[in-house]
Amino acid sequence: MPAPEDLHMTVVPRTKAEQARIDKVTRPTTDFTAPETYETKQGGAASVRRGDTADAFSQPSANMSFERELDFRVGNGLFKKLWVSSPSSTLASDGLGPLYNARSCQRCHLKDGRGHPPESPEDSAVSMLVRLSVPDDGTAAVPDIEGYLADRPDPVYGGQLQDFSIAGHAAEARIRITYTEEEIVLAGGETVSLRRPDLQLVDPGYGPLRDDLMVSARVAPQMIGLGLLDAVPAADILALADPDDADGDGISGRPNVVWSLDHDRPMLGRFGLKAGQPSIREQSAAAFSGDIGISTALHPAGSGDCTAAQADCMAAPNGNDPENGDVEIGEDGLDLVTFYSNNLAVPERGDLDDPQVLRGKQVFYESGCTACHNPKFVTHRLENQPEQSFQLIWPYTDMLLHDMGPDLADNRPEARATGSEWRTPPLWGIGLTEQVSGHTYFLHDGRARSLMEAILWHGGEAAAARDRIIATPKPDRDALIRFLESL
């Protein structure tokens, strides 16, 4: 287990008096007659007014200075930049691929919101990617972390399927998803149909796919509040862990522990659907490499995720520039994208004093949902990140891994995460999904078409909470959805 300090931040230690105040304010409420103090501002002082346009997730932290907002806007430009293949006359924008999933960060995180799966078997997966690995044969180079599960890349297709390629190169395969419907009956006779996805990789471009290939479909998550989650003390997250279910409540959250390329040591995993990255900077660098084929100091290969078995891909021209640190996006560029991602603001709550919303909040708490979707944290006091420093936030996540049962399992390990474990996703902003992204698709692969479908897919550690909601009268189920939509 890593020490609880956070090496990627400049932290001012809390005093005993501050810690006592924090312990009091983050205690879960038992009063559902009125909103809690400060509950409107889900992202603390960084929260922005709840907008009514598709740009609701694209605003800078409200407590940001004018001078720092300039860096945010430049980072936004890099986030939206369309990369082109090498060689090109636009030296600052070349290096795409040769294999890739998208030409820009924005192409997957549309309007900084959620991606979506293909709408039909023939659609291209513009905002979905597929992670790949094969069973560990004992030869994988695994950092010395106790309990680490080797997610060994496929020796031909690498660690991620790239379904696009630059001219003259074959894409690795096409993603094809079909669905079968399953009906669930709720208390009172209401029925909900769940769609079960069947993922296939077709038209492989570099030889047959292995029979033992492990695949995991991932839809791009929303981007808001990442800097605030990054600023939550690791010690506060670890305090919520109960890997052996010592309290007997059936919930056994575990931290993921991953290898930090920045710090060359194990750190707490926070980002990615299985908490596979320890910081926003490392998550951003991994996405540049795997999704777009753009190199950084952390992933310096100009060929991106190409493998030695893909000789033409490895030999293709790239945009690594000696004047830019011999990579395609230098340290300044990576820092600006990280700063942008740090500061995409969380919108304020809506209708939080509505009686139906308050009743839905009570249903959420009393059904046991807060055992994983922890309501509140207070962030570190930080020297050089004023926007995230010492904020009371309401993300509704514990940032831990939970076994979600066989129906949601991808059966693919990632660091300490098993094939049935996922990080609890934050819920803030979930009610604005349709407004921002134009759809209401949820869960890691977008299979759920509504919030109720997402709830009904919960299994494993969440099965008891799900069953309580199935048995809940319809007016209370409707109130629960209204509460979630208010976040």
Radius of gyration in angstroms for the set of CA atoms belonging to the chain, rounded to a whole number: 22
The predicted pLDDT at position 142 comes to 57
Element (H, E) at 74: helix 66-80
> Can you tell me the distance from the alpha carbon of 90 to that of 66, in angstroms, rounded to the nearest whole number?
30
Instruction: Report whether pLDDT(316) > 60.
Output: yes
Name the pLDDT band for 92 (thresholds 50, 70, 90). Answer: confident
Look up residue 316 and give its two tokens: 């293709």
Q: What is the per-residue DSSP string for 215-265?
A: EEEEEPPP-TTHHHHHTS-HHHHHTT--TT-TT-SS---B--EEEETTTTE
**Span 161-174, pLDDT tens digits:** 999 999 999 999 99
Closest Cα to residue 110, out of 219, 212, 234, 213?
219
H-helix segments, 177-278 = 226-230, 234-238
**Residue 277 β-bridge partners:** 271
Look up residue 478 and give its two tokens: 């409707």
Residue percentage of the chain with pLDDT more than 90: 89
**Span 172-227, pLDDT tens digits:** 999 999 999 999 999 999 999 999 999 999 999 999 999 999 999 999 999 999 99
Angle, nearest 10°, between helix axes 331-342 and 66-80? Answer: 110
40 occurs within a structural domain:
yes
> Can you tell me the distance from the alpha carbon of 462 to that of 401, in angstroms, rounded to the nearest whole number?
12
**Span 256-297, pLDDT tens digits:** 999 999 999 999 999 999 999 999 999 999 999 999 999 999
**Span 239-257, pLDDT tens digits:** 999 999 999 999 999 999 9
Instruction: Report whether pLDDT(2) > 50.
Output: no
438 occurs within a structural domain:
yes
320 occurs within a structural domain:
yes
Count CB neighbours of 107 within 10 A. Answer: 18
pTM for this prediction:
0.95
**Span 329-344, pLDDT tens digits:** 999 999 999 999 999 9
The predicted pLDDT at position 118 comes to 85
**From residue 21, how far is each of 8, 17, 25 by CA, in Å?**
25, 6, 6
15 occurs within a structural domain:
yes
177 occurs within a structural domain:
yes
Backbone angles phi, psi at 159, to 5 degrees: -95, -5
1 occurs within a structural domain:
no
> Can you tell me the distance from the alpha carbon of 242 to that of 238, in angstroms, rounded to the nearest whole number?
9
Name the pLDDT band for 56 (thresholds 50, 70, 90). Answer: very high
Angle, vertex CA 9, rays to CA 269 and CA 297, nearest 5: 70
How many CA atoms, within 13 angstroms, populate the side-chain half-sphere of residue 4?
Answer: 12
Considering the chain, what is the average pLDDT of its residues? 94
- Residue 98: is the preceding peptide bond cis (ω within 30°)? yes
**Span 141-151, pLDDT tens digits:** 556 677 667 67
> Can you tell me the distance from the alpha carbon of 448 to that of 379, in angstroms, rounded to the nearest whole number?
31
Name the pLDDT band for 320 (thresholds 50, 70, 90). Answer: very high
- The number of distinct structural domains making up the chain is 1
**Span 349-407, pLDDT tens digits:** 999 999 999 999 999 999 999 999 999 999 999 999 999 999 999 999 999 999 999 99
**Residue 94 β-bridge partners:** 84
CB burial of 424-455 (b: ≥16 within 10 Å; e: otherwise) equals bbbbbbbbbbebbbebbbbbbbbbbbebbbbb
4 occurs within a structural domain:
no
Look up residue 447 and give its two tokens: 């299979």
**What's the DSSP call for residue 13?**
P
Range of the domain at 252: 11-485
**Span 452-480, pLDDT tens digits:** 999 999 999 999 999 999 999 999 999 99
In Å, how far from its chain's centre is CA 222? 7
6 occurs within a structural domain:
no
> Can you tell me the distance from the alpha carbon of 478 to that of 310, in angstroms, rounded to the nearest whole number?
52
The predicted pLDDT at position 143 comes to 61
